[in-house]
Structure 1
């Protein structure tokens, strides 16, 4: 070998040695990690199994996951190559359904990546809240006792001029008692149904007849009520973004379906009970 060739060879070797190991052989999804009778199992296959694992398994150390996933794929491959493995009609239609579902999921994922414009959000906000009746919210106080008789006696005392807040401090078994029974502001659905229904029928300043709930018997005083304001756009931005995206998906599905050539067997042309006959998959 000439001196020049020897120098070149030494330079190449030095360059290769100097390269980081990762740069020389960086694995990707196509990296073959095993072969079974010539059939390749790739890192991509392992990653797909990893992605589909239940959450409790996802937390395992990677060396444990590697062994488990590798063993699963090798075992599945040797079984799939065995004489007893037949690509039956059941297998074929299952593969077709899985492929269809995965491709549909890819289409939905692509739509989900598309940003929702401020104009679309504003339009959705106005459509939902601009003229919506948000209902009322209420400010009330109550006295909670164990029996109807106790509640009725309290009503009689209040009708006789007793102070509601003082009675609440003295008699109420609820956590609001020390605060004079004050509950603050609450909107629809925030109180148990019998309590909410009673409040919604009351006049400002009125005291209710005894009201029973699972907590006991209540005597209620309605202090104030007011119309609820619509939420701000920022407070419902995430909610509206999801709704707009859902509508985009629905509109696209409708559009694609209308453009497609679709033929369907009418239900009156077939006995729908045939869906119970899973034996047909064995043909």
Structure 2
């Protein structure tokens, strides 16, 4: 509809005809109306929350929640810094266009499968977040800490070096050289077939449970400074030199709190997933050909 035009003189006359004393009252009324409108809008938005409809396209609702999620997914810093109104208009226009275009798409088996996979993935992620949402109680952290480090005060760590060769004969020969005064590091560097050979056989610090049983048993029976007789393992024949030992000290709880907290949360999530799967009624269809995984033509069906 074309807006009617008025001569400037008529407009001026109309303005002059309004009593001057009424202008402040009109302005006050307009301001009050604006405040009330904003208050009503805020009340409605609070009541409806993320489900508040901000637009419809052929009966399809676009909600405030969808706008919020869309904003959270923005990765372009320039867009994220736009004024609220500009960003709102841009996102709403994009969602309107997307909704209109989506309505014209043909829903195939592939489209349905993809939407269901996405929905299921989102719901599963939400469930995991809810399970892991609560911070572990202090009692849980302490109990898990005690489980991990209860034996720490009794755990012995060893610092040792070794020479690894393929045969007992070669190990016996090298042990004789060591007994004759040869330097252990020199003999290891020249003869050891293990990865520690270039490093003069040095193994650094380790606990018994980090080594295969025959090796661990031999080390545990040695005194610092001693050199073992040849020891056989699945890797070959070892000659071991024990440098020193020490008791492993447990770190204070405060030092490992974050790691233990994550461990407790992970265990809670895994336990709840196992419970839900156990409680679910699961039926697997027999006879489906696994080769159908490669039949992408099936996705084009309606």
TM-score of the pair, normalised by structure 1: 0.57
| Partner deviation per Cα, 1:179-231 (whole Å, 9 max, x = no partner) | xxxxxxxxxxxxx9775961639x9799xxxxxxxxxxxxxxx9976333121
Q: Does 1:280 align with 2:298?
A: yes
TM-score of the pair, normalised by structure 2: 0.54
The residue aligned with 1:198 is 202
Q: Does 1:25 align with 2:14?
A: no
The separation in 1 between residues aligned to 2:273 and 2:95, in whole angstroms, is 36
The separation in 1 between residues aligned to 2:59 and 2:155, in whole angstroms, is 67
- The structure having more radius of gyration, on CA atoms, is 2
Structure 1 residues 15 and 111, CA gap change in structure 2 (3 angstroms): same
The residue aligned with 1:129 is 149
Q: Does 1:117 align with 2:137?
A: yes
Structure 1 residues 254 and 199, CA gap change in structure 2 (3 angstroms): closer
Root mean square deviation of aligned Cα: 4.2
The separation in 2 between residues aligned to 1:120 and 1:91, in whole angstroms, is 45
Unaligned runs of 5+ in 2: 1-25, 160-180, 182-194, 205-218, 227-241
The residue aligned with 2:64 is 43
The separation in 2 between residues aligned to 1:242 and 1:15, in whole angstroms, is 53
The separation in 2 between residues aligned to 1:256 and 1:69, in whole angstroms, is 38
Of 242, 254, 260, the residue aligned with 2:274 is: 254
Deviation of 1:135 (Å): 6.4
Unaligned runs of 5+ in 1: 1-9, 139-158, 160-191, 207-221
The separation in 1 between residues aligned to 2:269 and 2:251, in whole angstroms, is 26
Does the CA contact (< 8 Å) of 1:137 and 1:228 recur in 2? no
The separation in 2 between residues aligned to 1:223 and 1:92, in whole angstroms, is 66
The residue aligned with 2:99 is 77
Higher helix share: 2
The separation in 2 between residues aligned to 1:274 and 1:41, in whole angstroms, is 37
Name the count of aligned residue pairs: 207
Deviation of 1:278 (Å): 2.1
Secondary structure in 1 aligned to 2:50?
coil
Of 40, 61, 81, the residue aligned with 1:61 is: 81
Superposition pairs of residues 129-278 of structure 1, within 5 angstroms: 129-132=149-152, 136=157, 195=199, 198=202, 200=204, 226-265=246-285, 269-278=287-296
Deviation of 1:134 (Å): 6.3
Does the CA contact (< 8 Å) of 1:136 and 1:226 recur in 2? yes
The residue aligned with 1:34 is 55
The separation in 1 between residues aligned to 2:81 and 2:277, in whole angstroms, is 45
Structure 1 residues 122 and 48, CA gap change in structure 2 (3 angstroms): same
The separation in 1 between residues aligned to 2:274 and 2:257, in whole angstroms, is 25
The separation in 1 between residues aligned to 2:61 and 2:133, in whole angstroms, is 33
Does the CA contact (< 8 Å) of 1:33 and 1:42 recur in 2? yes
Structure 1 residues 225 and 88, CA gap change in structure 2 (3 angstroms): same
The separation in 1 between residues aligned to 2:97 and 2:282, in whole angstroms, is 41
Secondary structure in 2 aligned to 1:29?
helix
Does the CA contact (< 8 Å) of 2:110 and 2:299 recur in 1? yes
